[in-house]
């Protein structure tokens, strides 16, 4: 096992339990590309500033390039005994190129190194998350186009309220997901500043060029405060908060799909490839993917709470507590990507039962507001119209009628303003069409 980066101060080896407890390579090894990219930029800057030689920089670049290629191909595997990804790569580099590898860390601390790696990694994940959400939006849009005229009951309090188009219902989720994308993009913009050059907390006495490394790594700039540069994890909490809202939206959509699949609703049927069965009840077709998405929302909320709780009492600057940031934010990112990947084909392949939707919309007097609007259009104050239609609904329930089948003389008992055209006015298609023009 290579020496620890901090081995010089200590007179004995750390206990195995200390090493195991302190190690994070099982979590942070996924950032190997970002760690190598940061090191390449740092070494190039050191050489340009005359802090290390051009020859050392060339050896470092060559060695890191080889390590990257071997990790990508699987020819090189991570050492589970390494403390973290930074230690592993530096030790591997030094073993290959000797003293030049030992000069790589000049003017740098693991504190600003890990903060840089994490920002680089999450920046890329933000792009993938937004691409996934756009794919889900496309699936919702295509499903809306597949059933452009399907009428369903809109609900408030889970009670039938007013008739709407199924496409209008899905559009609400498209709007939610568009806001999610905007939040993630906004978080990515704020995280896109480089902490490299902050050192452990107070910067470095070497004449480094922070702007140069920031530019090489595609950052918009660099952090102004070196203390904040190494101890800031706002970008993790902000992204986790945005992802928690994504999961709220995915969970709400999943809950509706679960309801719609039930025999009580029977509005949709999931494709067999995206449903499961029962081990004992042969008739069952369960919306397990939707249920799992609904359940995994709590997991992402927990990741956010873990990050908030971890950070709330930390004095400046870096503290080892912050090693817990990666496990939480990585889990949140992975879980949301997994859920988007499950929801997209599930929605793309589900089949509607428009006749059941329309039948449900025809019941429950969901055109009662339109009936009141009819009277308002003929000069009756809305509150009087509301009362008159409420009495009509009560009469319909008593006499087993709907507003479409109630005789005109019964209408006229509630208000003389009703005429034969009331039936066309309260027809479902007419109710929907009026609101589509609004």
Per DSSP, the residues of 177-227 read HHHHHHHHHHHHHHH-SB-TT-TTTT--SS---HHHHHHHTT-S-B-S-HH
The answer to whether 428 touches 403, Cβ cutoff 8 Å, is no
Q: How far apart are CA 327 and CA 314, in angstroms?
A: 18
Q: How far apart are CA 161 and CA 156, in angstroms?
A: 6
- The active-site residue out of 157, 244, 254, 279 is 157
- The active-site residue out of 26, 53, 262, 278 is 278
Does 415 qualify as catalytic in the annotation? no
Question: In the chain, how long is the greatest CA-to-CA distance?
Answer: 101
Which residues are registered as beta bridge partners of 2?
none
**Alpha carbon distance, N-terminus to C-terminus of the chain:** 72
Does 251 qualify as catalytic in the annotation? no
Instruction: Report helix, strand or coil for 136.
Output: helix
Which residues are registered as beta bridge partners of 352?
268
Instruction: Report helix, strand or coil for 149.
Output: coil
Range 222-226, long-range pairs (CB < 8 A, 24+ positions): 222/193, 222/194, 222/195, 222/196, 222/197, 223/193, 223/194, 223/195, 223/198, 226/112, 226/197, 226/198, 226/199, 226/201, 226/202
Q: Which residues contact 98 (CB under 8 A, 6 or more apart)?
A: none
Residues designated as active site = 157, 278
């Amino acid at each position: 096992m290579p020496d620890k980066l901090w081995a010089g101060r200590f007179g004995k080896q750390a206990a195995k339990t200390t090493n195991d407890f302190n190690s994070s390579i099982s979590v942070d090894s996924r950032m190997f590309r970002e760690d190598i990219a940061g090191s390449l930029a740092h070494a190039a800057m050191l050489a340009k500033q005359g802090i290390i030689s051009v020859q050392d920089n060339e050896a470092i670049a060559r060695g890191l390039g080889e390590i990257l290629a071997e990790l990508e191909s699987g020819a090189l595997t991570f050492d589970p005994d390494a403390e973290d990804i930074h230690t592993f790569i530096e030790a591997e580099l030094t073993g290959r190129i000797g003293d030049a590898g030992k000069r790589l860390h000049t003017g740098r601390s693991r504190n600003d190194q890990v903060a840089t790696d994490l920002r680089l990694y999450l920046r890329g994940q933000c792009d993938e998350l937004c691409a996934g959400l756009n794919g889900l939006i496309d699936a919702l849009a295509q499903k809306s186009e597949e059933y452009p005229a399907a009428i369903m009951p809109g609900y408030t309090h889970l009670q039938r309220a007013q008739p709407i188009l199924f496409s209008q219902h899905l559009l609400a989720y498209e709007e939610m997901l568009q806001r999610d994308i905007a939040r993630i993009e906004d978080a990515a913009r704020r995280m896109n500043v480089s902490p490299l050059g902050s050192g452990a907390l107070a910067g470095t006495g070497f004449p480094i060029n922070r702007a140069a490394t920031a530019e090489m790594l595609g950052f918009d700039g660099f952090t102004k405060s070196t203390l904040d540069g190494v101890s800031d994890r706002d970008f993790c909490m902000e992204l986790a908060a945005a992802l928690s809202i994504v999961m709220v939206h995915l969970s709400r959509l999943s809950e509706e799909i679960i309801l719609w699949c039930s025999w009580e609703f029977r509005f949709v049927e999931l494709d067999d490839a995206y449903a499961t069965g029962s081990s004992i009840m042969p008739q069952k077709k369960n919306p397990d993917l939707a249920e799992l998405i609904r359940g995994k929302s709590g997991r992402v909320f927990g990741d956010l709470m873990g990050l908030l709780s971890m950070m709330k009492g930390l004095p400046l600057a870096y503290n080892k507590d912050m090693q817990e940031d990666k496990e939480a934010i990585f889990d949140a990112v992975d879980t949301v990507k997994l859920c988007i990947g499950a929801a997209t084909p599930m929605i793309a392949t589900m089949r509607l039962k428009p006749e059941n939707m329309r039948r449900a919309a025809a019941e429950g007097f969901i055109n009662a507001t339109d009936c009141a609007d009819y009277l308002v259009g003929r000069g009756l104050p809305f509150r009087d119209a509301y009362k008159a239609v409420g009495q009509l609904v009560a009469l319909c329930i008593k006499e087993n009628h709907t507003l479409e089948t109630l005789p005109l003389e019964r209408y006229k008992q509630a208000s003389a303003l009703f005429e034969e055209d009331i039936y066309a006015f309260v027809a479902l298609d007419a109710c929907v069409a009026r609101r589509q023009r609004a």
